[in-house]
């Protein structure tokens, strides 16, 4: 996601220049005819009919109008199919990306009812598609459990699409209705006789609503694979038909449920015990509780929580119940078997979850989510149910698998000792800073404002780039923290070792949030944390090390949108006094060709001839994209410079290309798929070489500008 900041003056401050007055002459009117702009009466009250509220405020229903919101449309439709599966009426779901940019979701469930609704005098299908809070998930008999409890899912998709087609196989006929921008084009009608039952929803998102309407194949695959694990025995077929040459097909089917999911998440990690704990149990007060867990040699927790197959990134009451039971059962077992002595401290919650991969899935009759995006579960009964099921089953598992139990407890005890060592190290660092009378690191060039909402921290590679950044920055709002060399790879290190790294210590103190069990985001001193490294292999490595640090120990900063990556230019293209910055080879060649087209040598002939000649000259002079770092090549009077690093830019250049809020390009770091992110960090930064080797071999052909 590319983010550009609002218009400000050359140092990022709002201009004091007065706005130009309107040129129209004022017309004097009787006082009674002048409307009071602050008037608030009955005529100011607006009632938005039908699906208009969704089009006015789409973020309230799908979270955002960016890529995540776009894909949320698919999840809303697919959730309805999974509700049919959980009710036992569907065993196959097919998702197809069509050539025209639309998406089709088909299931072999019962089919949405099509008969007339007595109250509204419309087909039940039309009500479901065009009315908010219309569905079979509120009263008894429709669904025992469901993910789309609000009844707004498919109607929201309809509202935010320029075209939708609903096809229902039911009662021996194929029924159909089409919609534009949420409004029916006609009545529900029977198209033909057909066997079987099921529903197919085809929708094309409205490009006027969304920032992008380009669906990401990997995002869809990852999400649907996850759903297949959560609903054992359901076949999910995913098809990409957008390009005939690049057609793709995937089929997911898992009998093992969440136990298979844990095995998948840990397949590249070293397990501490061979047997995966798994329990699935029906509870009268909620529905079904299913839990699987296994410990690995990792130092971080890798846990996922679901309610009615909906991922809850912020957890909820089911997670509270899981953590409470886990810690209590492990402590009881350790005391009972004399692994923990009377003098020993108890294993804490953090200790019990170090290196733990877990899935908590609960199916409830009446789930209470916080918001339509369902990030957090609020049902108190979910805590009681999960706590009871896990406590009973885990006690039996530990007794029946003593070797597994010993490995788990030893892992937790070692984590406890490391936590105490890390606390001592952290306290020493902070106390040392206070005793020196300087709580901020000396290398930090801080900004003058104390308003965190206006301030930015640039983490810069090296003293040279740091010097340019310090001179070119806006001193009021921009702070600079230069790093010397590459920081520690935190993927394979505990916190006590991490805190011995001077560069990481400086960063922790500068951020103001503390780290580990004492992390507090309220102490954050900067609204934007910007990683600004060179555009070469070393810069990419440092950036990856920093991303690993933030993902593992400051993840909340990413989740709240505080972490960014600066995009410095790769080239400077100049002819005479005219110059431009290029951020890619393609942009460099285009700018060079444009400047060449202006030259006297190419003034004769047609425009197309000029363009072809310019392109040929660029390719000949630049060697088809090969420009060495720091080298300046000349193409018929056009100078093309490849920047070796940020330190090569003078302060003014660094400001105007990379730091000026009115001109810069920055990428915001997000976590769209936590499971995939976990896997990638493990592959790239873990100790196991073989998975990393396979990853490099697989993706080597996609790398551009590889510096060796």
Q: Could you say which DSSP state residue 414 is in?
A: H
Query: Start-end ranges of CATH 3.40.50.670 in the chain?
Result: 443-568+669-702
pLDDT digits (tens, 9 = 90+) for 515-573: 877 889 999 999 999 999 987 788 888 999 999 999 989 999 998 999 999 999 988 89
Output 142 or 671, whichever has higher pLDDT. 671
How far apart, in Å, are the Cα atoms of 575 and each of 284, 617, 640, 650?
Answer: 77, 15, 9, 19
pLDDT digits (tens, 9 = 90+) for 576-611: 888 899 988 888 888 888 888 776 544 444 444 555
Residue 138 dihedral angles phi and psi, to the nearest 5°: -105, -40
By three-state DSSP, how is residue 300 classified?
Answer: coil
Q: How confident is the model at residue 471 (pLDDT cuts 50, 70, 90)?
A: very high
Beta-ladder partners of 574: 579, 639
pLDDT for 604 equals 46
Residues 535 and 496 sit within 8 Å (Cβ to Cβ): no
Q: Could you say which DSSP state residue 658 is in?
A: I
pLDDT for 48 equals 45
Pairwise CA distance, residues 461 & 481, whole Å = 9
Q: How confident is the model at residue 636 (pLDDT cuts 50, 70, 90)?
A: confident
By three-state DSSP, how is residue 480 classified?
Answer: strand
Q: How confident is the model at residue 478 (pLDDT cuts 50, 70, 90)?
A: very high
Per-residue pLDDT at 372 exceeds 80: no
Q: What is the dihedral of CA 6, 11, 14, 16, to 10 degrees?
A: -150
Which residues are part of the catalytic machinery?
Answer: 461, 534, 536, 538
Query: Start-end ranges of CATH 3.30.230.10 in the chain?
Result: 258-420
User: Which candidate, 619, 610, 553, 613, places its Cα nearest to that of 586?
Assistant: 619
Residues 213 and 70 sit within 8 Å (Cβ to Cβ): yes
Q: How confident is the model at residue 341 (pLDDT cuts 50, 70, 90)?
A: confident
Output 649 or 478, whichever has higher pLDDT. 478
> Which tokens hold the place of 600?
């006297």
Query: pTM of this prediction?
Result: 0.67
User: Which candidate, 566, 539, 546, 568, places its Cα nearest to that of 653?
Assistant: 568
% of the chain with per-residue pLDDT over 70: 81
Q: In 308-455, at which residue ranges do the beta strands (DSSP E only) sit?
A: 310-311, 356-364
pLDDT digits (tens, 9 = 90+) for 36-70: 555 544 544 444 456 777 888 887 888 889 898 99
Q: How confident is the model at residue 429 (pLDDT cuts 50, 70, 90)?
A: low
Pairwise CA distance, residues 684 & 688, whole Å = 9
Mean pLDDT, the chain, rounded, equals 82
Q: Which CATH architecture has domain 54-252?
A: 2-Layer Sandwich (3.30)
pLDDT for 618 equals 61
> Which tokens hold the place of 328?
């209590």
Q: Which CATH architecture has domain 443-568+669-702?
A: 3-Layer(aba) Sandwich (3.40)
Region 104-121: what's the mean pLDDT? 90
Query: Start-end ranges of CATH 3.30.565.10 in the chain?
Result: 54-252
- Fold assignment, 258-420: Ribosomal Protein S5; domain 2 (3.30.230)
% of the chain with per-residue pLDDT over 90: 47
Q: How confident is the model at residue 7 (pLDDT cuts 50, 70, 90)?
A: very low
Specify the range with the lowest mean pLDDT, choosing from 24-28, 496-500, 642-646. Answer: 24-28
Specify the range with the lowest mean pLDDT, choosing from 119-123, 264-268, 336-340, 389-393. Answer: 119-123
Largest Cα separation within the chain, whole Å, is 93
Region 181-190: what's the mean pLDDT? 93
Q: How confident is the model at residue 441 (pLDDT cuts 50, 70, 90)?
A: confident
pLDDT for 24 equals 35
Angle of helix 607-622 relative to helix 585-597, nearest 10 degrees, comes to: 130
Pairwise CA distance, residues 213 & 69, whole Å = 10
Residue 450 dihedral angles phi and psi, to the nearest 5°: -105, 10
């Amino acid at each position: 996601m590319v983010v550009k900041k609002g218009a400000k003056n050359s140092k990022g401050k709002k201009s004091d220049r007065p706005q130009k007055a309107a040129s129209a002459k004022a017309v004097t009117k009787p006082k009674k005819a002048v409307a009071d702009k602050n008037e608030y009466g009955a005529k100011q009250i607006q009632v938005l009919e039908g699906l208009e509220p969704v089009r006015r405020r789409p973020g309230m229903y799908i979270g955002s109008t960016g890529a995540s919101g776009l894909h949320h449309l698919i999840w809303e439709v697919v959730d309805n199919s999974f509700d049919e599966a959980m009710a036992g009426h569907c065993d196959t779901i097919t998702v197809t990306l069509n050539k025209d940019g639309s998406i089709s979701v088909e299931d072999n469930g019962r089919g949405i009812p099509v008969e007339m609704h007595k109250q509204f005098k419309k087909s039940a299908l039309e009500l479901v598609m065009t009315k908010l809070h219309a569905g079979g998930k509120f009263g008894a008999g429709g669904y025992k459990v469901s993910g789309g409890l609000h009844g707004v899912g498919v109607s929201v998709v309809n509202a935010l699409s320029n075209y939708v087609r609903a096809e229902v196989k039911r009662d021996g006929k194929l029924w159909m209705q089409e919609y534009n921008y949420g409004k029916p084009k006609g009545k529900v009608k029977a198209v033909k006789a057909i066997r079987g039952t099921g529903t197919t929803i085809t929708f094309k998102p409205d490009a006027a609503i969304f920032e992008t309407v380009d669906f990401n194949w990997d995002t869809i695959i990852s999400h649907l694979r996850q759903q297949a694990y959560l609903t054992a025995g359901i076949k999910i077929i995913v098809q990409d038909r957008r390009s005939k040459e690049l057609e793709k097909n995937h089929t997911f089917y898992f009998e093992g449920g969440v136990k298979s999911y844990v095995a998948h998440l840990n397949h590249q990690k070293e397990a501490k015990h061979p047997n995966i704990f798994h329990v699935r149990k029906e509870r009268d007060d909620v529905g079904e509780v299913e839990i699987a867990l296994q410990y690995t040699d990792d130092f971080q927790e890798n846990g996922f929580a679901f309610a009615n197959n909906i991922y809850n990134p912020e957890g909820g009451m089911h997670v509270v119940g899981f953590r409470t039971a886990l810690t209590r059962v492990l402590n009881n077992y350790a005391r009972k078997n004399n692994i923990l002595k009377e003098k020993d401290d108890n294993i804490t919650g953090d200790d019990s979850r170090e290196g733990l991969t877990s899935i908590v899935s609960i199916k409830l009759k009446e789930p209470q989510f916080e918001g339509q995006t369902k990030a957090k579960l609020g049902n108190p009964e979910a805590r009681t149910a999960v706590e009871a099921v896990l406590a009973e089953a885990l006690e039996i598992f530990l007794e029946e698998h003593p070797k597994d139990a010993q490995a788990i407890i030893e892992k937790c005890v070692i984590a406890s000792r490391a936590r105490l060592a890390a606390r001592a190290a952290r306290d020493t660092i902070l106390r040392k800073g206070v005793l020196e009378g300087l709580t901020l690191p000396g290398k930090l060039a801080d900004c003058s404002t104390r308003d965190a909402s206006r301030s930015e921290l640039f983490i810069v590679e090296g003293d040279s780039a740091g010097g340019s950044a310090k001179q070119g920055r806006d001193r009021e709002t921009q702070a600079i923290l230069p790093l010397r060399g590459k920081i520690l790879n935190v993927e394979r290190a505990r916190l006590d070792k991490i805190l011995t790294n001077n560069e990481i210590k400086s960063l922790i103190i500068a951020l103001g949030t503390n780290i580990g069990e004492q992390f507090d985001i309220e102490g954050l001193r900067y609204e934007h944390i910007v990683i600004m490294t060179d555009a070469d292999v070393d810069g990419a490595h440092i950036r990856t090390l920093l991303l690993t640090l933030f993902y593992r120990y400051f993840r909340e900063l990413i989740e709240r949108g505080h972490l960014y990556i600066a995009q410095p230019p790769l080239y400077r293209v100049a002819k005479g006094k005219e110059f431009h910055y290029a951020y890619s080879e393609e942009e460099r060649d285009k700018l060079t060709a444009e400047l060449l087209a202006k030259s006297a040598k190419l003034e004769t002939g047609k425009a197309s001839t000029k363009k072809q000649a310019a392109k040929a000259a660029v390719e000949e002079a630049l060697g088809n994209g090969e420009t060495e770092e720091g080298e300046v090549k000349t193409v018929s009077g056009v100078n093309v410079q490849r920047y070796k690093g940020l330190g090569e830019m003078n302060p003014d250049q660094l400001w105007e290309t990379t730091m000026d809020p009115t001109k810069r390009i920055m990428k915001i770091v997000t976590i769209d798929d936590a499971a995939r992110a976990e896997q990638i960090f493990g592959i790239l930064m873990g100790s196991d070489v073989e998975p990393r080797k396979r990853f490099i071999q697989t993706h080597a052909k996609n790398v551009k500008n590889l510096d060796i």
